[in-house]
Structures are given as structure tokens and as C-alpha cells.
Structure 1
Amino acid sequence: MVPLLTTPLPVPHGFTTRLGGVSEGPFASLNLSAATGDDPERVAENQRRVLSAFGHPPVAALKQVHGTQVHRVAGPGLWEGDGLLTRTPGLLLRVGVADCYPLLLYHPQGAVGALHAGWRGVVGGILPRALELLAGWGMDPQEVHLAMGPGIGGGCYQVGEEVAERFQEAGLPTLRPDPQAPGKHLLDLEAALLLQARRAGVREERIYRVGLCTHCQPTLFSHRRDRGRTGRMWGLVMLPPR
């Protein structure tokens, strides 16, 4: 069985690690993306193992572009953007990550969501956008449950002045000067996401954090740590099948 990181989110969900697959070398072992240069047959077997943990349901997936487009979907398929929402029971939503944050949402009125949040998505407001779309379905953001998977931590994510200015302008002062590199900053994406969630009304007791840094944990893939030659993990969520 493929190991999954889970939270108290009260629907089927999980975040994969790099453990439990068949890939080798820099992709060892549970790489889930064929776009990395890994052997496609090994990737297909890795994906099969993960999907078997959910009963091989239909899947809605993304061609991710580091933006803020969130799609409301009713069935399986592939969409260009960085977020998915559905009210369809038994439809598995997935996002791919290797330092960016996978966010999973659940609303008790019957909706789930999966978001890919890198710095562009965070500063652009992909999480507030998804919560607005749920509100458009008549679903109060205060009732949302939010699970935050592993991502690059604030002590490991160095950015330049341009990115720092974007976060300051967006009212997300979740940076500090890097003491080891003049003119550089350390950006805490998780803190920025938490700030956005609280501002939107998500209750503290309904925010669940895995709390692992991809850059620090050898059991997780990290694009930055591994200088671009690495695998990808998934964040997955679905409403229980009827």
C-alpha cells in the first residue's frame, strides 16, 4: 500500500510522498509525473498504485500554469489552471507539487476542492478565489475545512526583491531578510496562505496542516533542493461515492 499523509479533513484525501513506487535515481521512488523525464511505464505504475488506494475512481486533473484559474467541474478530464472544485461524489481531484503547496478543501454542504499554490498563485489569491466560487454555490467560507499539505518552508525559500515587493503590495508581509544573503528574503508561503484563509473567514479549528518542509524532508520531492531534476507528488481529495 502506498503511504499517504492525511489530516482530519473528513473526506477521502491524501498527500503522497516519494515512498512506495518503482521509479529510480532522482525520481525514486513514487514519482507521479511523466513530464520529469522519468520512464513513462514506471510513472504509470506509480499512478496506478496511488489511484488504487482510492478505488480507481474517475479523475479530474490540471495542466498547471502557476496561476489562479479555478475550475468548477462535474466529471473527469484535464483543465488548464491551478484549481478544481466539484460537487460530484466519487470524482477524485488531483494536483501535482514538488515545493508548491497542495491545498484541499471540503464544505459540508457537499463540495471539495484541490489547489496548487506556488508563490504566484498565493500572491494572486488562488485560495480566496476558490472560497469565492464556493460562496457562489451558496457555501459559507466559515464552514470550509482546509488541509494544507507539505511545501517548501519559510526558512528554506529564498526570493529576490521583486517577489518580496509583490507580497508586500498584496498585504502579505510574510517575509524576512535572509541573514546569509544581502538583498534576498525568506518567504513563508504557508504563513501567507494561513493569513488569507483567516481573512476569508475559515475557522482556525478547521485548518489542518501537515507541517512538513519539502526542502528539508528527504522523503519528499523538492524542485529547489534537487535543482529541477526530481519527481512530483500529488494532493488528492474526493467526496465519498454514493
Structure 2
Amino acid sequence: MTTRQGGVSQGGYSSLNLGRSVGDDPAAVAENRRRVGEAIGATPVFLKQMHGTRVIRLTAAHAVPGIEPEQADASISLDPALACAVMAADCMPVLFAAPGGVGAAHAGWRGLSGGVLENTVLALCEATGSEPGAVQAWMGPCIGPSVFEVGADVLQAFGVTPKQEDQLHFRFQPNAAGEPRWRADLVGLARQRLQALGLTEIHGGHWCTYSEPSRFFSYRWEQSQGHAGGRMAAVIRRL
């Protein structure tokens, strides 16, 4: 998992911004991505993330230099030369490892409620012949439950009623204008779904991007400050 450090970008993108669509110098982003590839020892395949649930299986065609990234929010790979990569800056990146393959998913609330984690685990199990119990998951930094404010539409997306909020990782907290709002726990929601799939080895999820802006890129924090920011990435390869 990358942080802000270790790259060549300047200003609000300082320094390891990996996002090509946030206004940063393309040459700096290219160098930053090269460094990530060098560190992991494989070609990281980035996606055109849409806050959806589509999963792709990586092939050599996805790693052709200059090719337009495929629209998807998760990928799996059985090839040690191709690393799965998802970007984030408040949404949760989740990495998966199974015997014979790996995967990565971009799980904001839209993708999480839509089933992106379930789709990724299913695709990885089908590709490797593994059972969900053999899959390990790692949850990366994301916006934490003390600051992630959401509206009733998010509860509805998860099929949660206000009476269920305390048991299902939502905490009621009206905003300054007295409007009904909730604080959502992405880590708790993700863990609940992964456990329901049969995963027992679930790790990570201890870091809040919004609360550590000097260490992590955070879209919501940077918006509150009125300036642009970059993107981090969670990357995994099969050995």
C-alpha cells in the first residue's frame, strides 16, 4: 500500500500521486507508477474505476504500454508478472490472496453495497479452484467511522433502516443544520460481508485517511481545504 511519500509530484500532489485524472503532471505520475512497479517487481495494472462492481482477470493485453485502462473496480491475476492495483483516497482498497492467485478491489460505499467484494472473491475462487475459506483479505486505509458522514441514501443502499443502524455499522449523528446524518464504518461493513462469504483471515483496516492527511491522500480532507490532491494505490502480485 502506497502513502503520500516516495514520489516526484509537487504541490498538493506531493509526492507519490498515482492518479492520472486529478490534474497532476503526467510525467510525474508516470515516474511514480514506474517506482511502484519496481518496488513490487511486476507490472501494476491500473483500472478506470467507476465505483461499480465489475471484476476483470488480468492478461498481458491489459499491460500494453499506453493502452486505455479497462473500466472495472476490481481485478484478479494468476500471472506473477501482472500485479492487481486499485487506487483510493478515502474509499477502501481490499487485497486478496488465494492459493495460485491474487486480487484487488476498490470498495467505496457504492461498490461495497453493490457487491464488489463478493464478486472479487467469487472470481478469484473460480479462477484458482479455491474455497472462500482459503482466501485471505487485507483492508487498506480508508475514511474512518468518526468522520465518514453519510445520508439516508447510503443506509438504503445497504438495506439498513434507522432502527437497525447501531447493529449494522451506522451511527446516527445530525449535522450542524439538524439534518439526519449518520457516520458509516466502511471497515465494519466490509468485514461483515467478507465473513458472510466464509473468509476467516481478514486483516488491516486500522487507518483513517482523513485523520492523517500528512501520510495519506484524502479526497474529503483535501476538498475541505479547497485544494486538489492525489491518489494512493494498493497493489498485490502472485509470487
- Measured against the shorter chain, the TM-score band is 0.7 to 0.9
CA distance in 1, matches of 2:31, 2:57: 29
Q: What's the counterpart of residue 129 of structure 1? A: 119
Rounded Cα–Cα distance in structure 1 between residues aligned with 2:46 and 2:72:
9
CA distance in 2, matches of 1:37, 1:136: 38
Distance 1:76 1:99 in 2: 30
Deviation at 1:106, TM superposition (A): 0.4
Alignment partners' CA distance in 2, 1:177 and 1:224: 20
Question: TM-score, length-normalised on structure 1?
Answer: 0.86
Q: For residues 76 and 210 of structure 1, do their structure 2 counterparts lie closer, same or farther at Cα, with a shift above 3 Å needed? A: farther
Say which structure is richer in helix.
2
Counterpart Cα distance in 1 of 2:57 and 2:32:
27
1:86 is displaced (CA, Å) by 1.6
Please show how residues 1-242 of structure 1 align to structure 2 within 5 Å. 15-55=1-41, 57-77=42-62, 78-108=69-99, 110-137=100-127, 138-169=129-160, 173-181=168-176, 182-203=179-200, 206-218=201-213, 219-227=215-223, 229-240=228-239
Alpha-carbon offset, residue 90 of structure 1:
2.3
State the shift of 1:58 in Å.
2.9
Q: Is the CA contact (8 Å cut-off) linking 1:76 and 1:91 kept in structure 2?
A: no
User: Gapped runs of 5+ residues in structure 1?
Assistant: 1-14
What is the aligned partner in structure 2 of residue 11 from structure 1? none
CA-CA distance at 1:169 after TM superposition: 4.3
- Is the alpha carbon distance of 1:84 and 1:213 closer, same or farther for their aligned partners in structure 2, counting shifts above 3 Å? same
For residue 130 of structure 1, give the secondary structure of its aligned residue in structure 2. Answer: helix
Counting matched residue pairs gives 222
